[in-house]
Chain A
Amino acid sequence: MANFATETERRPWLPLPPWARGTLVTLSSIAVTMLGLLFVTFLIGRVMPIDPVLAIVGERATEEQYNAAYRELGLDRSLAVQFFYYVSDVLRGDFGTSLLTAGDVSSDFARLFPATFELATIGILFGCILGVPLGVIAAVRRGSWIDQIARVIALVGYSMPIFWLGLMGLLLFYGILGWVGGPGRQGIFYEDMIPSVTGMILVDSLIAGDWAAFRDAFSHIVLPASLLGYYSLAYISRMTRSFMLEQLSAEYITTARVKGMSEWAVIWSHAFRNIRVQLITVIALSYANLLEGSVLTEIIFAWPGIGSYITTALLSADMNAVLGGTVVVGLVFICLNIFSDLLYKVFDPRSK
């Protein structure tokens, strides 16, 4: 968990009100983290064994052509200058050209991101809707069979390779039972039938009012999304349980019970109220992790999102696409971290 702005100011080195100083410290640490992220990807791009010039001009280029391209890429300048150009390119949203799709990496991302976003969002909804109540019940009925089941669900989730679970799911629900649609986002019949508005097929088919297409898209997304969501379910239910246990052993809960409050009110309007902020932080974090899990899930389910884009690029040594993907996923990751930190600051009075 990135902990931004942990270095609380010890002495007032700027004549600013505390909130402004706090914001400044947070902003600067975000900037430093992002710069570091770019620096790492820049370094990876420099140590890679693939010659970026050869990749552009091809094997049979003359030495003149080679040198021209070498200068064009700015490789004759010092590393510091190259890094500067790299950062300014990224800030303008320019990740270079993908060798594989021959298009801008950034426009490739814009096209593919909705698919990953749709998958991860349905996944996290699944994880929250089942995980939070499961965690609460496991804490309240500690040691009961529900608690044991919650424990097993979490353990299995922590121990199962996601790509294998995906294969098994495909085998069982698609191959044997035939309950869900196969790999891909849509059946062949529905492909390109829905005008793309948001890029998310579930939403687009609703906008178009095409129920058959919606059902088809849903049958394709339900399996990958619920498998992906299973991993956040494991994490969310475990964390909910331990947060709830902490609250339930507090004295104010005993007081509430002694006052004769109903158990339901004690649990939901006292204990659960107090874990909401922590819970949102956990959910934001597992949402960020879903992006990562989606890399492997997308490959299994032939889902045309960021994850399969990065891995296809990786296997064909398309470094612009790989590094661009790393930066984009890293940025989303950092933003979600910051978001959860901010939520904590805003909603938890103790952190003020």
Chain B
Amino acid sequence: MSMTSQTPPSSGGQSLRQWLLSDTPTSRRQARLSALYQGWLALRQNHMAMVGLAILVVLISIALFAPLIAPHDPFVQDLANRLQPLGSEGHLLGTDSLGRDILSRLIYGARITLYIVALVALIAPVVGLLVGTISGYAGGWADVILMRITDIFLAFPRLVLALAFVAALGAGIENAVLAISLTAWPPYARMARAETLTIRSSDYISAIRLQGAGPLRIIIKHIWPLCISSLIVRVTLDMAGIILAAAGLGFLGLGAQPPSPEWGAMISEGRRFILDHWWVATMPGLAIFAVSLAFNLLGDGLRDVLDPKDSAS
């Protein structure tokens, strides 16, 4: 952790740890960092969540340093060496139907997966938060209309709606991201609305209102921060679903287009040789499985720390 750069434990030889665990924080920053640190300590107790976090850290580093790690160019075809089995010379995970190195394609594919996940995780929760808090805070007709719209989107089966959107917008990564986001925001809106309703009538909101704060300021500065923690948990748990949806679209040929090394599209390519050359489709599937499992493990752990009331165990 890079906390050392931000912390000034200057008061008399006190260690960083003591400063962070102090019961009597002297500044707002100390209180916040202390809460973060204690959350981290609680999360660290959860071994499964740590496994998930480790997988994600590895994934992010692989994506960042892909050109350094990948043994081959993921796009270079070598038809003389097509469909080489696992562990063949120079190709640890074999080659696909065009002789491209599967390991290198998986490594570059991590970038696409992270790109999709990051974009959806930026768009969907923000839209949901916006709709939910406005709906909950404004009440009345605005609430009825916004929640009806949310219900309509919730009523659609997600994958089918995403399919229809991509069909209308055209295949491609950006459109896949848009389609998945369009189907992913309603649960966040419902959650943010429920939280807003409980916060709206509390005393401190009345106090700020009496001080003359407008609705926008109240929503952004005083309601959003309280919705964030449950939102983060929900987003982390949803990540697995987002990855599976993106892979599904890729598998159907509606996400990333060839020759892009998207994992779902790679499975679809390998599907034709599944009975004779099983590894072509198996390896990308294992990668998808590992990453969504990591998000699920981390999400479970985060929920236990941040949102203990919904804890399943």
When distances are taken between beta carbons in the complex, the residues of chain B under 8 Å from A238 are 312
B240 at the A interface (CB under 8 A): yes
Per the bound structure, the CA–CA distance linking A167 and B278 in Å amounts to 9
B167 touches A314 (CB 8 A): yes
Q: What is the CA–CA distance of A156 and B293 in the complex, to the nearest angstrom?
A: 7
Interface stretch (choices B70-78, B200-208, B267-275)? B267-275
* Residues 1-18 of A at the B interface (beta carbon under 8 Å): 1-4, 6-7
B156 lies within 8 A of A163 (CB) = no
Give the residues in chain B near A322, CB-CB below 8 Å.
Answer: 163-164, 167
Interface pair A168/B157, CB less than 8 Å apart: no
The stretch that binds B, out of A36-44, A59-67, A112-120, A192-200, is A36-44
Are B163 and A314 interface neighbours, CB within 8 A?
A: yes
Interface residue from B155, B169, B312 paired with A37 (Cβ < 8 Å): B155
B289 touches A164 (CB 8 A): yes
**Is A158 a contact of B151 with CB atoms below 8 Å?**
no
Interface mask (B254-294 → A, CB under 8 Å = 1, otherwise 0): 10000000001001000100110010011011001100110
Which residues of chain B come closer than 8 Å to A164, judged between CB atoms? 267, 281, 284-285, 288-289
A47 adjacent to B168 (CB under 8 Å)? yes
> By the criterion CB–CB under 8 Å, are B157 and A291 in contact?
yes
- Report if B158 contacts A (CB, 8 A): yes
Supposing A36-B148, A175-B275, A333-B155 touch, asked if A159 and B160 sit within 8 A by C-beta, the answer is no
Determine whether the beta carbon of B289 is less than 8 Å from that of A161: yes
A52 contacts across to B, CB distance below 8 A? none
Interface assignment of A289: CB less than 8 Å from any CB of chain B? yes
Contact of B296 among A2, A155, A292, A299 (CB under 8 A): A155
Given A161-B264, A167-B285, residue A288 in contact with residue B157 (CB < 8 A):
yes
Q: Which residues of B contact A155 (CB under 8 A)?
A: 293, 296-297
A95 to B252, CA, bound (A): 24
Residue A326 CB within 8 A of the other chain: yes
User: B148 — which chain A residues lie within 8 A by C-beta?
Assistant: 29, 32-33, 36
Interface presence of A188 (CB below 8 A)? no
Provide 22 A-B residue pairs closer than 8 Å at the C-beta atoms, listed in order of the A residue: A3-B151, A33-B151, A37-B152, A40-B161, A48-B167, A48-B168, A155-B293, A155-B297, A160-B292, A161-B289, A162-B244, A164-B281, A164-B285, A167-B267, A292-B159, A296-B248, A299-B252, A311-B163, A314-B167, A314-B254, A315-B253, A322-B163
**Residues of chain A at the chain B interface (Cβ within 8 Å):** 1-4, 6-7, 29, 32-33, 36-37, 40-41, 44-45, 47-49, 155-156, 158-165, 167-168, 170-171, 175, 238, 241-242, 288-289, 291-292, 295-296, 299-300, 310-311, 314-315, 317, 319, 322-323, 325-326, 329-330, 333-334, 337
Q: Give the 3 A-B residue pairs with the shortest CB-CB distance, closest first.
A: A36-B152, A164-B285, A159-B293
Kindly list 6 other residue pairs between chains A and B, CB separation below 8 angstroms, not including A49-B168, A159-B244, A159-B289.
A2-B151, A33-B152, A168-B285, A175-B278, A296-B251, A329-B160
